[in-house]
Amino acid sequence: MLNLVLFGPPGAGKGTQAEKIIEKYALKHFSTGDMLRKEIADKTDLGMQAKAFMEKGELVTDELVINIINSVIERNKEANGFIFDGFPRTQAQAKALDELLLKLNIPICAMISLEVEKQELVDRLVNRGKLSGRPDDSNIDVIENRIQVYNNQTAPLIEYYKAQNKHRGIYGMGTIEEIFDRICVEIEKVK
Ligand code: AMP
């Protein structure tokens, strides 16, 4: 089973590259951001709890996202493999994911970490906000906060996966195809 963590700051291109990886390798895609936005659109209790955090660019609680991930993995155990996009984002989430996958005997194969310069991230997010109207992409203060939250709370996970020898840094600047080719080279090595 091919299990990947697709990692990187907001605007690094995780969603775009996830779509291409899924198509090529037939993996099941888990984006906690997409799941949370669906909960908000459906006006569920969970969505209402998450909304205030997301609007500010803060992380929602570990408990909430870990519960979401646990339930979707349980329901998709027969998949070819998983791609985690935007999860884990904290050490507690990474540990919870490892424990769950250990129980199922399907460990993470690699963390594909997209590396993009800060100004490029801001430019991409501002552009995406204009096209999608996503509230957290439409406010420069929220964009800056998300990048800071990433640097403080999420980037340390690079060390967590390096310690497991699973970190694969990918230069995330250039065309979508160029970046995808670099990702595929790494996937082929762990497949
Ligand atoms: P994303 O679509 O991945 O950029 O996520 C959008 C927002 O959803 C983030 O800014 C967080 O508020 C929230 N979110 C998504 N995934 C997580 C996660 N794994 N842990 C905590 N908050 C998350």
53, with CB counted inside 10 A (0-12, 13-18, 19+), is: middle
The ligand 1 atom at the shortest distance from the C-alpha of residue 36 is 8
Tell me, what's the pLDDT at 169? 98
Tell me, what's the pLDDT at 96? 97
- CA–centroid distance, 113 to ligand 1, in Å, is 16
Cβ of 65 below 6 Å from ligand 1: yes
- CA–centroid distance, 58 to ligand 1, in Å, is 8
Q: What is the chain's pLDDT, residue by residue, as a tens digit (191 residues)?
A: 999 999 999 999 999 999 999 999 999 999 999 999 999 999 999 999 999 999 999 999 999 999 999 999 989 988 999 999 999 999 999 999 999 999 999 999 999 999 999 999 999 999 999 999 899 999 999 999 999 999 999 999 999 999 999 999 999 999 999 999 999 999 999 98
- CA–centroid distance, 35 to ligand 1, in Å, is 9
Active site amino acids: 14, 89, 128, 134, 146
- Which residue's CA is minimally distant from atom 5 of ligand 1? 33
As a three-state string, the secondary structure of the chain is: CCCEEEECCCCCCHHHHHHHHHHHHCCEEEEHHHHHHHHHHCCCHHHHHHHHHHHHCCCCCHHHHHHHHHHHHHHCCCCCCEEEECCCCCHHHHHHHHHHHHHHCCCCCEEEEEECCHHHHHHHHHHHHHHHCCHHHCCHHHHHHHHHHHHHHHCCHHHHHHHCCCEEEEECCCCHHHHHHHHHHHHHHHC
CB-based contacts of 14, cutoff 8 Å, min separation 6:
6, 7, 8, 31, 85, 86, 114
Cβ of 87 below 6 Å from ligand 1: yes
The ligand 1 atom at the shortest distance from the C-alpha of residue 10 is 4
Q: How far apart are CA 132 and CA 129, in angstroms?
A: 5
The ligand 1 atom at the shortest distance from the C-alpha of residue 53 is 12
